[in-house]
Amino acid sequence: MAECHVCFHHCKLSEGKRGRCLARICRDGAVVPANYGMVTALALDPIEKKPLSGFFPGSMILSVGSYGCNLSCRFCQNHEIAHPPVGVDYTPAVGMREMTPEELVSAAKRAQRDGNIGLAFTYNEPLVGYEFVRDTAKRIKEAGMRTVLVTNGTAELPVLEELLPWIDAMNIDLKGFTERFYTEMAGGSLAMTKAFLEKAAAHCHVEVTTLIIPGENDTESEMEALTDYLAGLNGGAGKEIPLHITRFFPRYHLTDRGPTPVETVYRLCETARKKMTYVYAGNV
Query: What does the pLDDT read at residue 95?
Result: 77
**42-59 per-position pLDDT tens digit:** 999 999 999 999 999 999
What percent of the chain has pLDDT above 90?
Answer: 91
pLDDT at residue number 92: 66
Examine the pLDDT at 243 and tell me if it is beyond 70. Answer: yes
**Taking 70 as the threshold, does the pLDDT of residue 172 lie above it?**
yes
Which of 83-97, 124-138, 220-234 comes out lowest in average pLDDT? 83-97
Is residue 261 over pLDDT 70? yes
DSSP state of 183: I
Query: How far, CA to CA in Å, does 158 sit from each of 7, 136, 148, 154, 196?
Result: 10, 18, 19, 12, 10
Walk me through the domains of the chain, giving residue ranges and CATH numbers: 2-282 (3.20.20.70)
Helix boundaries (H) for 28-142? 79-82, 101-110, 130-142
- Looking at residue 88, what is its pLDDT? 47
Amino acid at 1: M
Q: What pLDDT sits at residue 83?
A: 85
- pLDDT at residue 102 is higher than 70: yes
What is the distance between the alpha carbons of residues 61 and 55, in angstroms, rounded to a whole number? 11
Q: Which of 37, 29, 32 is nearest to 19 (CA)?
A: 32
Q: What value does the mean pLDDT take over residues 7-27?
A: 95
Q: What percent of the chain has pLDDT over 70?
A: 97
Range of lowest pLDDT (5-19, 74-88, 110-124, 199-213): 74-88
Strand partners, 108: none
Is residue 230's pLDDT more than 50? yes
Strand extents, DSSP E, the chain: 2-3, 12-13, 24-27, 30-33, 38-39, 41-46, 60-65, 97-98, 116-121, 146-151, 169-173, 205-212, 243-247, 279-282
Backbone angles phi, psi at 122, to 5 degrees: -160, -165
> Among 72, 184, 51, which Cα is nearest to 128's?
72
Q: Does 265 score more than 60 pLDDT? A: yes
Contact 99, 39 (CB under 8 A): yes
pLDDT beyond 90 at 235: yes
- The Cα–Cα gap between 136 and 100 comes to 8
Q: Give me the pLDDT at residue 80, please.
A: 87
Going by pLDDT thresholds of 50, 70 and 90, the confidence category of residue 82 is confident
Q: Could you tell me the pLDDT band of residue 79, with boundaries at 50, 70 and 90?
A: confident
